[in-house]
């Protein structure tokens, strides 16, 4: 019996199965009741230990209950610091804004106004789309194949995934999806394909207000934008007066190595969306950064009750300590190299699987061409006490994204478990000869 069967059989998940909506998802992949977590380790109510290679989908880049952040948070609560404040000025928000400018923006020569759009990633995307439309007076926005931008209607309209889009229940308008880098094979330059639509008045695609793009598609299968492609896209946007929005919700805050994932590309987006790990402690927080000249909002034109999550501001300001020196970034680079080496050698060990390496920084994975294999690998890993998720429309990529603070020893331990898990399911799938991923059924 698997650990998952055990949990169900003994009634551990009864209340969730009976009361919680069918929409629940991660608790189906990891069917235990969690109690406690420190850094990259979690424990369930039975005392079983798990190593975390998922990090809250990128919301826990600094680990669970990071002791540095926790100490600040506890002190703040004990001192009766403001917890909720709409968007009133508070000391906690003041400190965050000052620190964000000092540690992140100024050293990178970036000048942005900071908007708190509401606590989730999709709020940051909606605010970005709204301001782009308001500034340009245009309605159309271009998103890319396999993109993921969130679950509210505006964000869904620029999201690729058919299943998620269908959940909207209404037509998703005012958006055009264009092929991402590499979508039509290595030979096709999808950027010039896109440019033809922009420049030709017969294309049927109206000049977009903005383009929204991820540098690396965390949910969409770990496809990465090439340097030339993203630079070209930025150039195209500038040339035609289209605003460039980078959705750095999952890849920002160091996931790919640098604080913003677009830094190594040398592009400067007009608008940047951040969320997931910006709050540091896994507390809800989101930012929409915009070039000052784009900040044409009227007071209260975009609103929200939870734009003043001061507990998140406290942890967010503290988490920026990691970015004051270069050591943190260097350490991510070293662990990324270790991770890549391990994944590549795993792929070489099983040539019959025709698996493919993908990713960057501490966001890497293995794409399997056989339907269900990546999921089977993640399930096998979970039975061995390793938490991992899949990525891609067909869940075809087994994704490794530990907290950035993980030690090399813990990373190696997890990779060893991943190796055992691939070995377990390899025979089952190698018998199949026809790749099954990639149909639009």
Ligand X SMILES: *Cc1c(COP(=O)(O)O)cnc(C)c1O
Task: Tell the smallest beta-carbon distance from residue 392 to ligand X (Å).
Answer: 13
Would you say 212 or 234 has its CB closer to ligand X? Answer: 212
Q: Is residue 250 close enough to count as binding ligand X by CB under 6 A?
A: yes
* Residue ranges in 65-161 assigned as alpha helix (H): 67-78, 91-99, 121-136, 153-157
Between strands 243-247 and 210-213, the pairing is: parallel
Task: Tell the smallest beta-carbon distance from residue 286 to ligand X (Å).
Answer: 7
Would you say 191 or 283 has its CB closer to ligand X? Answer: 283
Would you say 121 or 403 has its CB closer to ligand X? Answer: 121
Residue with tokens 């308001």: 134
Would you say 44 or 214 has its CB closer to ligand X? Answer: 214
Task: Tell the smallest beta-carbon distance from residue 218 to ligand X (Å).
Answer: 5
Give CA separation, 380 vs 24, 110, 363, 428, in Å: 21, 44, 20, 13
Task: Tell the smallest beta-carbon distance from residue 12 to ligand X (Å).
Answer: 27
Report 287-306 residues binding ligand X (CB under 6 A).
none
Q: Which residues of 87-118 are buried (b: 16+ CB within 10 A; e: fewer)?
A: beebebbeebeebbeebbeeeeebebebbbbb
Q: Is residue 90 close enough to count as binding ligand X by CB under 6 A?
A: no
What DSSP element (H or E) covers 113? strand 113-115
Task: Tell the smallest beta-carbon distance from residue 200 to ligand X (Å).
Answer: 30
Q: Point out the residue whose Cβ comes nearest to ligand X.
A: 121
Report 137-176 residues binding ligand X (CB under 6 A).
148-150
What DSSP element (H or E) covers 51? strand 49-52
Task: Tell the smallest beta-carbon distance from residue 255 to ligand X (Å).
Answer: 10
Would you say 319 or 415 has its CB closer to ligand X? Answer: 319
Q: Is residue 282 close enough to count as binding ligand X by CB under 6 A?
A: no
Burial class (CB in 10 A: 0-12, 13-18, 19+), 137: exposed
Task: Tell the smallest beta-carbon distance from residue 157 to ligand X (Å).
Answer: 13
Give CA separation, 382 vs 99, 372, 432, in Å: 39, 15, 24
Task: Tell the smallest beta-carbon distance from residue 187 to ligand X (Å).
Answer: 28
Total site size for ligand X, rule CB under 6 A: 15
Q: Is residue 214 close enough to count as binding ligand X by CB under 6 A?
A: yes
Scanning 46-54, 245-253, 360-368, 424-432 for contacts with ligand X by CB under 6 A, the matching segment is 245-253
Would you give the DSSP letter of residue 288? Answer: E
Contacts of 256 (CB under 8 A, 6+ apart): 215, 216, 360, 361, 362, 363
Cα(105)–Cα(103) distance, rounded to whole angstroms? 6
Would you say 150 or 372 has its CB closer to ligand X? Answer: 150
Cα(35)–Cα(230) distance, rounded to whole angstroms? 42
Residue with tokens 């630079």: 231
Cα(40)–Cα(231) distance, rounded to whole angstroms? 35
Would you say 256 or 275 has its CB closer to ligand X? Answer: 275
Task: Tell the smallest beta-carbon distance from residue 313 to ligand X (Å).
Answer: 17
Q: Is residue 219 close enough to count as binding ligand X by CB under 6 A?
A: yes
Would you give the DSSP letter of residue 289? Answer: E
Beta bridge mates, 177:
143
Beta bridge mates, 36:
43
Task: Tell the smallest beta-carbon distance from residue 164 to ligand X (Å).
Answer: 11
Q: Is residue 275 close enough to count as binding ligand X by CB under 6 A?
A: yes
Would you say 120 or 395 has its CB closer to ligand X? Answer: 120
Would you say 214 or 375 has its CB closer to ligand X? Answer: 214
CA 231, chain centre distance (Å): 21
Would you say 128 or 236 has its CB closer to ligand X? Answer: 128
Which of 154, 160, 218, 269 is the binder for ligand X (CB under 6 A)?
A: 218
Under 8 Å between Cβ of 58 and 261: no
Which of 44, 247, 270, 389 is the binder for ligand X (CB under 6 A)?
A: 247
Between strands 386-387 and 363-367, the pairing is: unpaired
What DSSP element (H or E) covers 390? strand 389-391
Which of 61, 90, 120, 421 is the binder for ligand X (CB under 6 A)?
A: 120
Which of 61, 66, 90, 122 is the binder for ligand X (CB under 6 A)?
A: 122
Task: Tell the smallest beta-carbon distance from residue 91 to ligand X (Å).
Answer: 26
Residue ranges binding ligand X (CB under 6 A): 120-122, 125, 148-150, 214, 218-219, 247, 249-250, 275-276
């Amino acid at each position: 019996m698997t650990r998952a069967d055990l949990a169900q059989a003994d009634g551990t998940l009864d209340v969730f199965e009976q009361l919680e909506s069918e929409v629940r998802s991660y608790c189906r992949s990891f069917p235990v009741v969690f109690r406690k977590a420190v850094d990259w380790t979690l424990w369930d109510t039975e005392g079983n230990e798990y190593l975390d290679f998922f990090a809250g989908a990128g919301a826990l880049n600094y680990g669970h209950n990071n002791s540095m952040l926790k100490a600040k948070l506890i002190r703040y609560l004990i001192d009766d610091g403001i917890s909720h404040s709409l968007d009133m000025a508070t000391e906690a928000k003041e400190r965050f804004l000052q620190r964000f400018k000092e540690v992140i923006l100024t050293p990178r020569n970036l000048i942005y106004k900071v908007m708190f759009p509401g606590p989730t990633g999709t709020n940051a995307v909606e605010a970005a789309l709204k301001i782009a439309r308001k500034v340009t007076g245009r309605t159309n926005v271009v998103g890319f194949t396999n993109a993921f931008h969130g679950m509210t209607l505006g964000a869904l309209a620029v999201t690729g995934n058919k299943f998620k889009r269908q959940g909207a229940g209404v037509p998703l308008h005012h958006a055009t999806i264009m092929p991402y880098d590499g979508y039509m094979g290595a030979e096709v330059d999808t950027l010039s394909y896109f440019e033809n639509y922009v420049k030709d008045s017969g294309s049927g695609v109206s000049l977009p207000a903005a383009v929204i793009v991820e540098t690396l598609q965390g949910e969409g299968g770990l496809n990465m934008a090439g340097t030339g492609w993203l630079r070209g896209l930025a150039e195209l946007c500038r040339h035609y007066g289209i605003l460039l929005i980078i959705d750095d919700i999952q890849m920002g805050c160091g996931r790919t190595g640098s604080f913003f994932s677009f830094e190594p590309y040398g592009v400067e987006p007009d608008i940047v969306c951040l969320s997931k790990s910006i709050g540091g402690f896994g507390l809800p927080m989101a930012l929409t950064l915009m070039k000052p000249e784009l900040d044409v909002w009227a007071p209260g034109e975009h609103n929200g009750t939870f734009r003043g999550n001061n507990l998140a501001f406290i942890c967010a300001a503290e988490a920026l300590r990691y970015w004051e020196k270069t050591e943190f970034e260097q350490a991510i680079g070293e662990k990324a190299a270790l991770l890549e080496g391990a994944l590549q050698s795993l792929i070489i060990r099983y040539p019959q699987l025709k698996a493919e390496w993908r990713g960057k920084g501490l966001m890497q994975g293995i794409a399997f061409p056989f339907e269900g294999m990546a999921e089977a690998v993640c399930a096998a890993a979970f039975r061995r006490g390793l938490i991992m998720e899949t990525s891609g429309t067909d869940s075809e990529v087994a994704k490794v994204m530990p907290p950035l603070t993980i030690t090399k020893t813990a990373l190696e331990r997890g990779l060893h478990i991943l190796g055992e898990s691939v070995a377990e399911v390899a025979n089952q799938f190698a018998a199949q000869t026809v790749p099954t991923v990639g149909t639009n059924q």
